[in-house]
Amino acid sequence: MFDWNDVKALLAVGRSGSTAGAARELGVNQTTVARRLEALERDLGVRLVERSQTGASLTEAGLSLVADSEAMERAAIALRRKVDAHRRGVSGTLRVTLSEMLAASVITPLLLEFRQLYPDVTLEMVITDQMLDLEAGEADIAFRGARALPNSNLVARKVNTTEWALYCSRDYANRMGRPASPADLKNHMVVGGTDEPQTIPGLQPILDQAPGVTATLRSTSMTNLFASVRAGLGIGPMPCLLADSEPDLVQVFPPDPGSVAYTWIVTRPELKDAPRVRAFIDFFTKRIAAVVKDYEDRAAQAQADQR
């Protein structure tokens, strides 16, 4: 039976084109690479590498083994991750609650990587804009968006800062124009949230400057609220990070100082040191920062394209 380390040498030569490059990739010397290739050729009974003064290249037989060798490599990596996860004790069930908008735009695309890293953690995702009671055990972890969290015994980590502002679609701006001041909102359709679960950032600071103006279309779902703005139904609040990256949206007023909101990851004190909880919070804190950077880059590019 052949040795997996010998197969790694074959892959490294195929990727680098030389035994010297393979040696650098594997962190060994060229003699070791050559010895492993020879051992693999003996075990399989076929010539796998063509050697020359200019380097080394895989023979037809060697090339035919690349796909299977890469599958072995993926399996070996997955095996190592499982072993590492067991060693760290990262296992068990986590009940996580978050909004539909955050789930769709940020968290769900990251779940595959989390599952690959921590295959023994079972996630139960409760997607709702309602605030589940963590202290009552309705969830183990929550993503919350707010300027400040209410006083409680919960443990929270701030993972992002987001400005909110009022936006409309370009179609709406072309049809209805844009208000010159908050008072002008009385001549426009204003899209907002209901009192449940809480006031959405971005709208109230502007309405405070325009007595008598209220939202004429309300939604309990932030996802539906954003879809309404995109569809040209009116002017409504959106996070600048998301809206500025969409060329079909127009900012109506600059962000108000009172429109800043934070994203928090929240859990109960007795869970904060559990390995599966620490792993989840550490993973998503780091990955959300990368997603935010990507949105910022896209927003800057979208604004540059409009100039």
20 and 129 in a single domain? The answer is: no
pLDDT tier at 196 (50, 70, 90 boundaries)?
very low
**Residue 268, SS3 per DSSP:** coil
Residues 262-271, mean pLDDT to the nearest whole number: 92
- Among the candidates 87, 122, 152, a domain finishes at 87
- My answer on whether 159 and 273 are in the same domain is yes
Provide the pLDDT for residue 145.
80
pTM for the model: 0.64
With H, G, I as helix, E, B as strand and everything else as coil, classify residue 241.
helix
Q: Domain of 176: which CATH number?
A: 3.40.190.290
Q: Of 68, 87, 106, which one is at a domain's C-terminal end?
A: 87
* Same domain as 175, residue 79: no
Buried b (16+ CB within 10 A) or exposed e, 99-133: bebbbebbbeeeeeebeeebeebebeeebbbebbe
User: In the predicted model, what is the mean pLDDT of residues 109-138?
Assistant: 91
Q: For residue 11, which of 70, 77, 71, 72 has the smallest C-alpha distance?
A: 70
Which H, E and C letters describe 50-100, residue by residue? EEECCEEEECHHHHHCHHHHHHHHHHHHHHHHHHHHHHHCCCEEEEEEECH
- Host domain of residue 80: 4-87
Q: Please report, for the domain that includes residue 56, its CATH number.
A: 1.10.10.10
Percent of the chain with pLDDT over 90: 33
How does DSSP classify residue 284? H
User: How far, in Å, CA of 163 to CA of 240, rounded?
Assistant: 6
**pLDDT confidence of residue 94:** 95
Average pLDDT over residues 189-215: 75
Number of H helices, E strands in the chain: 12, 11
Bond from prior residue into 211 cis (ω within 30 degrees of 0): no
Under the banding of pLDDT at 50, 70 and 90, the label for residue 195 is: low
Collapsing DSSP to helix, strand or coil, 149 comes out as coil
